[in-house]
Structure 1
Amino acid sequence: MIALTLAQIARAVSGTLHIAGADTEGTVLAGPVDTDSRLIEPGGVFVAKPGEITDGHLFVDAAAANGAAVAIVEHLVETRISQIVVSDAVQALADLAREVVARVRAHGDLKVVGITGSNGKTTTKNLLARVLQDEGETVAPRASFNNEVGAPLTMLRVTDATRYLVCEFGASGPGAIARLAGLVDPDVGVVLMVGMAHAGGFGGIEGTAKAKAELVHAVRPSGVAVLNADDPRVAAMASIADERGLTVRRFGTGPTADVRAEETETDAAGTRCTLVVDGARLPLHLRVLGAHHVWNAMAALTAAVALGVAPQDAVARLETVELAERWRMQPLGNDRVRIINDAYNASPDSMAAALRTLAQITGPDERTVAVLGAMSELGEYAGEEHDRIGELAVRLRIQRIVVIGADARRLFLAAVGEGSWDDEAVFFATADEAYDYLLTELRDGDRVLVKSSNSAGLRFLGDRLGESFS
């Protein structure tokens, strides 16, 4: 965080300052901000956020022991450090992030990019951060810090030297993206796609589209909207951008795209294509597994070009990225049994893309094995979407379908109904049972996809399989 006095922090969060020890209102802090007492560093700010399982107020002393200089709390606690009492700690975190970003913008050259979409946010964020970091100091979220806590924590990492802030915006319901993006008023807003991820929280895909469009509404005047020309719901957001006087830059595979992919080929070494950028043809070898990541790469490139990065430089940097993020199309195992751990999250669109990738990268003498768990947050659409994925796996000729968990049972039944018989599709109640089965079932030449939503926990099964076949 930038240097602020205790009094300035208190004003920013509309809190009441209670000074302890040798502190004064003018005491200057410049340490990091966190809600996890275990991650607090000397001089840091601890935000005591109440949680569903525990309460941050119980850990103020632990934060102080790790060097916290002040705690933002909803009620005073017994501790030796200064405290700022607020009515809502999460809102205070957001207010502090808004203040810090505004101060850096006021006397610096900070540019802010916001990224949203039903799928691909984290991969695109990492690709764009890799491109921008060679241009100047770049701050981007760790992992998937994209909610009401994670996004402000990312924003608070900016310093006076930061040139680019890349924000990832997720949403559990209407208005969430508007609130988060409104903290920073992005210069560039990137909308990747509108799919069924979290559709249960939005009342369907049209509600999801409206929520994602909140980012276009939040881009500052004279800013840039980067839109997926291949997704009709995203492409339609150009009308919002036009009404607000924004520049629209499109990516995709069609003729309207400013950044266009042609001649795409995918194998186990990644995806090769030709990118057409404002008439120039640039070859790209993207080593992140999966042809669907070409759209994420195009989105990152389009945003980077909008910020003034030379296209050829951006493409060269994209080619250095080998892994988007842990548990996202992460290659594990060995050359004989290759495990692809993509179980950090799952939606119908990302599940389908991962299954297609598995089919594409498996040679004629190799076997496809899909280890699949539940897709969460689909609400009333859960049953039919699990049916659709089970049917797709069979139509893609996936040779072994291993389904885990009661919430994914309809996927298994759909695969059987589509024609996956004679133990081609199997069901296990737990990951441990599936692990025991796979240890004896997997053989040389197998290409194994592990895919589920985070809540299903199959990412840890993927890690175990990767270790067993390393």
Structure 2
Amino acid sequence: MIPLPLAELITVVRGDPHDIPQPPPRITGPVVIDSRQVTPGALFAALPGEHVDGHDFAAAAVAAGAVAVLATRPVGVPAIVVEDVTDALGALARHTVGRLTDAGRTTVVALTGSAGKTSTKDLIAQALARLAPTVWTPDSFNNEIGLPLTALRAEESTRHLVLEMGARGIGHIRYLTSLTPPTIGVVLNVGTAHLGEFGSREAIAEAKGELVEALPPAADGGVAVLNADDPLVRAMAARTAARVVLFGESPEADVRAESARLTPDGHPTFLLHTPTGRAEVTMRLYGEHHVSNALAAAAVAHEAGMPVGEIAQALAAAGSLSKWRMEVTTRPDGVTIVNDAYNANPESMRAALRALAAMGERAHAAGGRTWAVLGQMAELGETSLDEHDALGRLAVRLNVNRLVSVGGREAAWLDAGARNEGSWGEESVHVSDAESAVTLLRDELRPGDVVLVKASRAVGLEQVALQLAGDGAAGATPGGTRGAGGADGEVAAR
């Protein structure tokens, strides 16, 4: 964070100081919502959580070195009292980003989409970091809490701020862009995820398009990076005054892929075309969906002035910066675990299954089998059962050897879809919970098998992948924030 006098903070958040020492100190450390993350000079934001209240940890935060606490009531230690801590975080982020952008130091890159936001954000960040100091969204901290916390990590030296933006409804992205106005906006896709919340893909497109509406005009440097292969995204060109750059496999895309395919190990490979040249790319990541993600990242990197050869190198070297997204672990006994359990929707499920099928080609040649351990895709509304049925059928069509569906009604429809498509015997099994899945797999896995684990975040199937990889004790659950908003500190939106 840019060092900030406490007196200036009070003005920015319109707060009421309590128990502030004289002379007032400066905030020189990070802004945190977890008292365990406090370092000397930090500001601790006391958020009410689903299970705990951050105000209860105010004294511990100050004892650990926090200069003050952002709170909604006096807490007996130095505090700035505001009406709403989340709103105050937003005001502070707006102030900080404004200092950087008004001085012309920092370019804000924002991206959204129904699927692939976090993976694409990681690709963009790794490419831009090759050019200049870059700050980006950790994991999926993409809502009204996570986005300000990310923006407040920026320093005077930061030249690129890469921000993932999610939405739970109309107006959410508009609010986020008011906190951190972007110069470059990226819209990846409009999928069927979260139809239960939005009601239709058109409503999702309306919400996602708020990003391009917030961009400055082309004359002021605004750039809208849009997916040429998604008609609902491409149509957003009419909603912005920014210059439009198209990416995709369409011949009309400014940044496009030619001859895209997967290697025998499941890695995407393609010929990258940009307005200034072309280069071959083979990625470390797994799955065909990363082609589109890589093209979006390439378009942003090209706008930042990176030559095509360096873009190709950056994409080839990039890994996942966020946990449980196509994380591949090969055990000493030759079993490969693919942990993609952070979240799921129909589009990402299909992409993951195709990646598994590609990886399985080599596994089958060595006598191994492919396993898909799948759970519920949440928030699909009236389409939910049909989507789960279709996913089970797809697993059969892709010749996945074994399907293990985990959970309740939706998982049962996964299993039924596979059986109705022609699965027989024990090719498809429905179990009630993650532990049952682990028990089954431990009994039946053999060297050379490849196991994909994927479901919506609430299902918690990462436990299956972590235990099978022999790493269940390390990082088995996300660190719960003390006093953070949302269940178990989750600050991601859609």
* TM-score, with length taken from structure 1: 0.95
The answer to whether the aligner puts 1:388 opposite 2:424 as a matched pair is no
Residue type of the alignment partner of 2:371: V
The answer to whether the aligner puts 1:263 opposite 2:262 as a matched pair is no
Residue type of the alignment partner of 1:160: E
Question: Offset of 1:333 from its aligned partner?
Answer: 2.6
User: Which residues in structure 2 correspond to 1:45-64 (within 5 Å)?
Assistant: 45-64=43-62
| Equivalent residue in structure 2 for 1:44, among 42, 45, 69 | 42
Question: Offset of 1:181 from its aligned partner?
Answer: 1.5
| Equivalent residue in structure 2 for 1:300, among 293, 297, 300 | 297
The answer to whether the aligner puts 1:344 opposite 2:346 as a matched pair is no
Structure 1 SS opposite 2:450:
strand
Residue type of the alignment partner of 2:5: T
Contact 2:217–2:243 (CA under 8 A) maintained in structure 1: no
Query: Using the alignment, how far apart are the partners of 1:69 and 1:468 within structure 2?
Result: 37
- In the alignment, which residue of structure 1 is the partner of 2:477? none
Residue type of the alignment partner of 1:131: A
1:106-125: CA deviations, max 9, x gaps? 22420000010111111111
Structure 2 SS opposite 1:151:
helix
User: Which residues in structure 2 correspond to 1:138-217 (within 5 Å)?
Assistant: 138-217=134-213
- In the alignment, which residue of structure 2 is the partner of 1:397? 399
Contact 1:269–1:289 (CA under 8 A) maintained in structure 2: yes
Residue type of the alignment partner of 2:289: H
Structure 2 SS opposite 1:52:
coil
Structure 1 SS opposite 2:338:
strand
Runs of 4+ in 1 over 3 A off after TM superposition: none
Structure 2 SS opposite 1:372:
strand
- In the alignment, which residue of structure 2 is the partner of 1:376? 378
The answer to whether the aligner puts 1:130 opposite 2:126 as a matched pair is yes
Residue type of the alignment partner of 2:404: V
Question: Offset of 1:377 from its aligned partner?
Answer: 1.9
The answer to whether the aligner puts 1:100 opposite 2:96 as a matched pair is yes
Query: Bigger shift: 432-441 or 406-415?
Result: 406-415
- In the alignment, which residue of structure 2 is the partner of 1:419? 422
Query: Using the alignment, how far apart are the partners of 1:260 and 1:290 within structure 2?
Result: 17
Residue type of the alignment partner of 2:344: A
Query: Bigger shift: 193-202 or 330-339?
Result: 330-339
- In the alignment, which residue of structure 2 is the partner of 1:409? 412
The answer to whether the aligner puts 1:111 opposite 2:114 as a matched pair is no
- In the alignment, which residue of structure 1 is the partner of 2:234? 235
Query: Using the alignment, how far apart are the partners of 2:129 and 2:60 within structure 1?
Result: 34
- In the alignment, which residue of structure 1 is the partner of 2:356? 358
Query: Using the alignment, how far apart are the partners of 1:317 and 1:147 within structure 2?
Result: 28
1:275-299: CA deviations, max 9, x gaps? 1112622100111001110111110
Contact 1:151–1:169 (CA under 8 A) maintained in structure 2: yes
- Matched residue count: 462
Query: Using the alignment, how far apart are the partners of 1:220 and 1:30 within structure 2?
Result: 32
1:269-321: CA deviations, max 9, x gaps? 61211011126221001110011101111100101111222222121111112
Query: Using the alignment, how far apart are the partners of 1:170 and 1:291 within structure 2?
Result: 23
Query: Using the alignment, how far apart are the partners of 1:443 and 1:465 within structure 2?
Result: 12
Query: Using the alignment, how far apart are the partners of 1:381 and 1:42 within structure 2?
Result: 50
| Equivalent residue in structure 2 for 1:445, among 443, 448, 466 | 448
Query: Using the alignment, how far apart are the partners of 1:105 and 1:236 within structure 2?
Result: 29
Query: Using the alignment, how far apart are the partners of 1:346 and 1:214 within structure 2?
Result: 24
1:127-152: CA deviations, max 9, x gaps? 11111112111000111111111111
Residue type of the alignment partner of 1:234: V
- In the alignment, which residue of structure 2 is the partner of 1:316? 313
Query: Using the alignment, how far apart are the partners of 1:346 and 1:151 within structure 2?
Result: 21
* RMSD across aligned positions (CA): 1.6
The answer to whether the aligner puts 1:20 opposite 2:17 as a matched pair is no
Contact 1:369–1:399 (CA under 8 A) maintained in structure 2: yes
Query: Using the alignment, how far apart are the partners of 2:449 and 2:387 within structure 1?
Result: 27
| Equivalent residue in structure 2 for 1:454, among 457, 460, 465 | 457
Query: Using the alignment, how far apart are the partners of 1:96 and 1:441 within structure 2?
Result: 54
Q: Structure 1 unaligned runs (5+)?
A: none
Identity of aligned residues (%): 45
Structure 2 SS opposite 1:254:
coil
Structure 2 SS opposite 1:220:
coil
- In the alignment, which residue of structure 1 is the partner of 2:70? 72
Query: Using the alignment, how far apart are the partners of 2:318 and 2:4 within structure 1?
Result: 36
- In the alignment, which residue of structure 2 is the partner of 1:5? 5
The answer to whether the aligner puts 1:283 opposite 2:280 as a matched pair is yes
Residue type of the alignment partner of 1:212: K
Structure 2 SS opposite 1:362:
helix
The answer to whether the aligner puts 1:465 opposite 2:463 as a matched pair is no
